[in-house]
């Protein structure tokens, strides 16, 4: 089982010329609906101020039956916030979520940059208790292939009309998704002797939109079935995330492997995306 999640609603990464935030969302929503894949999107409310034209993204997301959670108002890194500032980041986002989700459950939190304060175990536990006190569950990530890294390069390569570079990116993106899917399964079996339901990190970016139909097909070919974050969270693995007042477990499957002294499978190398189409 795999649950799709998308960070940075309503606007992620540079917007390619001739595209719109709403159009990107519509492409992603169409691919998810065609594939029968539920999804949760995590909102940074500041984007509604920066790009007011992106506001319909949230309405279209909800109209498609997809859910929303809290990604902090400004996508601020926990390591750069006081506890009070962290709570402000949560609270400032909440009216947006309440307005779109109504009676549905929006109290899911995704840490920006996946930064949980792990370098300071005491603070990590304290922040988790603050989340629990506001009724939040942590939407932790157990599958990730750095999809975010491609969106900026894609905008540049589109502007230059460099189709060869874009083709290389497509192969690398899908290849990384495939390897990381197999890698997550290998780690889960090494740790627990079974598959946990995997929670996949994606972003609401233009390259993600381009690739989403192929990504859905890839997972289907690998035998995955698509479930909601809520359904994935019923697995015992996620119990400390559903109730963050509980003691935290190591962060992600890589963290669990390291904690047990197990060698993780090799992760795929990224293309030199920062230098492409410069």
What value does the mean pLDDT of the chain take? Answer: 97
Question: Before 10, cis peptide (omega within 30)?
Answer: yes
**Calculated CA dihedral for residues 244, 247, 250, 252, nearest 10 degrees:** -20
226 pairs with which residues across the strands?
2
Hey, how many other C-beta atoms are within 10 angstroms of the C-beta on 80? 11
Residue with the two structure tokens 């589109």: 158
Q: What is the DSSP string of 157-184?
A: HHHHT-HHHHHHHHHHHHHHHHHHHHHH
Q: Output the pTM of the full model.
A: 0.97
Determine the average pLDDT of the residues in 57-71.
Answer: 98
**pLDDT band of 184, cuts 50, 70, 90:** very high
SS3 5: strand
pLDDT at 252: 95
Q: Given phi > 0 = left and psi -120 to 50 = alpha, else beta, which region is 18?
A: left
Determine the average pLDDT of the residues in 83-112.
Answer: 97
pLDDT at 124: 95
- What percent of the chain clears pLDDT 70, i.e. is strictly above it? 100
Where exactly are the structural domains of the chain? 2-148+196-250
Determine the average pLDDT of the residues in 115-127.
Answer: 93
Residues 6+ apart with CB under 8 A from 146: 176, 270
**pLDDT band of 92, cuts 50, 70, 90:** very high
Determine the average pLDDT of the residues in 92-105.
Answer: 97
Q: What is the pLDDT of residues 197-211, one digit of tens each?
A: 999 999 999 999 999
Region 2-148+196-250: CATH code: 3.20.20.370
Q: What is the pLDDT of residues 10-57, one digit of tens each?
A: 999 999 999 999 999 999 999 999 999 999 999 999 999 999 999 999
pLDDT at 118: 83
**Calculated CA dihedral for residues 229, 180, 214, 238, nearest 10 degrees:** -10
pLDDT exceeds 90 at position 178? yes
Determine the average pLDDT of the residues in 172-183.
Answer: 98
Residues 6+ apart with CB under 8 A from 5: 39, 40, 41, 42, 110, 139, 141, 199, 200, 201, 202, 229
pLDDT exceeds 90 at position 93? yes
Residues 6+ apart with CB under 8 A from 83: 126, 127, 130
- What percent of the chain clears pLDDT 90, i.e. is strictly above it? 99
């Amino acid at each position: 089982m795999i649950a799709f999640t998308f960070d940075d609603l309503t606007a992620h990464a540079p917007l390619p010329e001739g595209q719109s935030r709403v159009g990107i969302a519509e492409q992603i929503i169409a691919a998810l609906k065609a594939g029968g894949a539920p999804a949760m999107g995590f909102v940074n409310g500041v984007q509604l101020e920066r790009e007011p034209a992106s506001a319909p993204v949230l309405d279209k997301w909800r109209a498609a039956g997809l859910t929303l959670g809290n990604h902090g108002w400004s996508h601020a890194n926990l390591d750069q916030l006081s506890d009070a500032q962290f709570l402000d980041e949560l609270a400032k986002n909440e009216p947006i979520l309440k307005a779109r989700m109504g009676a549905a459950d929006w109290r899911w939190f995704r840490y920006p940059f996946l930064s949980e304060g792990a370098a300071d175990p005491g603070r990590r536990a304290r922040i988790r208790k603050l989340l629990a006190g506001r009724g939040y569950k942590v939407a932790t990530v157990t599958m990730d292939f750095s999809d975010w890294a491609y969106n900026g390069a894609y905008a540049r390569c589109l502007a230059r009309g460099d189709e060869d570079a874009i083709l290389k990116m497509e192969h690398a993106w899908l290849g990384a998704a495939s390897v990381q899917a197999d890698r997550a399964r290998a780690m889960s079996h090494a740790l627990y002797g079974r598959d946990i339901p995997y929670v996949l990190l994606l972003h609401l970016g233009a390259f993600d939109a381009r690739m989403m139909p192929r990504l859905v097909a890839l997972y289907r070919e690998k035998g995955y079935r698509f479930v909601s974050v809520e359904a994935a969270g019923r697995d015992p693995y996620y119990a400390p995330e559903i109730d963050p007042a509980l003691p935290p477990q190591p962060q992600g499957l890589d963290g669990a492997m390291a904690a047990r002294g197990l060698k993780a499978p090799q992760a795929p190398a990224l293309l030199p995306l920062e230098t492409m189409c410069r």
